[in-house]
Amino acid sequence: METATAFDRFRDGYEERDWDDGADGTVRIALVGLGWFARDEALPAIADCDYADVTATISGSAEKARTVADEAGADTALTYERFHDGEGSDAYDAVYVATPNARHLEYVETAAELGKDVICEKPMEATVERAEAMVDACEAAGVTLMVAYRMQADPVMRRVRELVADGFVGDVAQAGGTFAFPMFANEDADPDQWRLDPDLAGGGSLYDIGVYPLNTLRFVLDADPTSVQGSLTSPDERFDGPVIDEHAAFLLEFDGGVQALCRSSYGSHGESSLRIDGNEGAITVENAFSPRGERTVVLERDGRRSRHEGLGSNELTEQFDYFAYCRLTGRTPTADGEHGLVDMQALDGIQTAAAGGRRVDLD
C-alpha cells in the first residue's frame, strides 16, 4: 500500500463507521447487572446510541434497579427473580449481561428462553464448559449472542486491522499487548470484590484484562492462537493465586506463525498498549484499552515514523450501536459465541500451561 496514504489515514475520517449503511428503528436493551461498569460506562454510552436505548434495568436489588432505571429514563426495573420469571419482558428486545463472570450463563439462558438477543460481557463465563452451555442455549433458542469485546468496535482498532490487512507492516512476524494497572493503588478498591473470588471470576487479571490484548490481537491479526504458554503469579496475598493471578504473562503462537507476547497485571504500573511488527513496518497503539478513546497510534515504515495522538471515540457507543444494527438488519455480529469460545479456550489453556509448565495446543 501507499505509505503516505496509510500515514494519512489516522488524520482523516478514520472514525467513520465502516459497518453502518443505515438501519431503521431502535433496539430496546435491558441492563442485567448494575455494577460500576454497566452504570458508569455502558449506560451513558448507550444514551448516545443511534440504534439502541435502555428500557429496563435488572439487579439483585429492587431499589438499585429502580434508581438506575430512573437515571436511564427507563420504565422497567426488575429484580433477577422477576427477570427469570419473564415479567416485564415486553419492555425490551435484547439484554446486556454485565454480572460477575460465573453468573453470565443463568441470565443468558433466561434471555434465550424469552427469545431475546444477548450481548454478554467478557470473558464469556468462568469456565469453558459454562461458555459452551451459553452458546448452546442461544443456538437452541435461535437468538443472537454477541460477546462485548468493545475494542472490536473501536474505530482506531478497526483502522489498525485494516492497515495490517492492507500490508502496511508487510508480513506480520511478532506482536504483543499489555493491560495493567495497580488495583490497590486506588484506596477505594474493594478486596472482597467478585473479581478476586475464584468461583465468581474464573481467573484473575488474565481473565478480566488479559483478555483485551488476547482478543484484540485476534481481531487485528484476523487469526486465532494455535498454542499458549504462560506464567501466573500472585505475590500479593490479596490475590487468591493461582486462579486469581495478580500478574499474568503469556506467549501465543498464532495461525500463520505469528508470535505474541502479552501481559496483564493488577499489581504493576499502569500500561495499556498493543504492537504489531512485520518485516516492513510496525504499528503501536498506546492507551490501547482504556474506555472512551484518547489513543495514540505510532506508525513506522520505510524509515518514516508518524505519531497520531488523541484518537478514538466512545467504543462502547460504537459497540452497542453495532449490536443493535446487526439485530435491526438481520446480520450476525462478528464477535459471536463461537468467537468468544476461542478466548475461553485460550484463557483456560494459559492457566493449564502455567500450572503444568507445558505449552497447550488449541484446537
Summarize as ranges the residues that interact with a copy of itself (CB under 8 A).
169, 171, 173-174, 176, 180, 182, 185, 227, 229-231, 233, 235, 246-247, 249-251, 253, 257, 259-263, 265, 267-269, 271, 277-282, 300, 357-359, 361
Q: Among residues 176 and 312, whose Cβ is nearest to a copy of itself?
A: 176
Please return the burial class of 172, using the count of CB atoms within 10 Å of its CB with bins 0-12, 13-18 and 19+.
buried
Q: Among residues 210 and 340, whose Cβ is nearest to a copy of itself?
A: 210
Nearest distance from C-beta of residue 289 to a copy of itself, angstroms: 16
Nearest distance from C-beta of residue 24 to a copy of itself, angstroms: 45
Instruction: Determine the angle formed by the axes of helices 104-113 and 128-141, rounding to 10 degrees.
Output: 10
Q: What are phi and psi of 284, to 5 degrees?
A: -120, 135
Q: CB neighbours (10 Å) of residue 301?
A: 20
Nearest distance from C-beta of residue 49 to a copy of itself, angstroms: 33
DSSP string, 312-338: ---HHHHHHHHHHHHHHHTPPPSSBHH
Query: Taking a C-beta distance cutoff of 8 angstroms, is the pair 118, 104 a contact?
Result: no
Q: Among residues 258 and 326, whose Cβ is nearest to a copy of itself?
A: 258
Q: Among residues 18 and 361, whose Cβ is nearest to a copy of itself?
A: 361
Secondary structure element (H or E) that encloses residue 138, with its range: helix 128-141
Nearest distance from C-beta of residue 162 to a copy of itself, angstroms: 18
Query: Taking a C-beta distance cutoff of 8 angstroms, is the pair 94, 29 a contact?
Result: yes
Q: Among residues 80 and 168, whose Cβ is nearest to a copy of itself?
A: 168
Nearest distance from C-beta of residue 334 to a copy of itself, angstroms: 27
d(CA 31, CA 218): 27
| Measured torsion, CA atoms of residues 310, 315, 318, 320, in degrees rounded to the nearest 10 | -160
Nearest distance from C-beta of residue 36 to a copy of itself, angstroms: 22
- Among 305, 217, 208, 324, residue whose Cα is nearest residue 261: 217
Nearest distance from C-beta of residue 37 to a copy of itself, angstroms: 23
Q: Among residues 5 and 174, whose Cβ is nearest to a copy of itself?
A: 174
Beta pairing partners, 233: 247
Q: Among residues 15 and 253, whose Cβ is nearest to a copy of itself?
A: 253
d(CA 152, CA 318): 9
Nearest distance from C-beta of residue 242 to a copy of itself, angstroms: 13
Q: Among residues 20 and 300, whose Cβ is nearest to a copy of itself?
A: 300
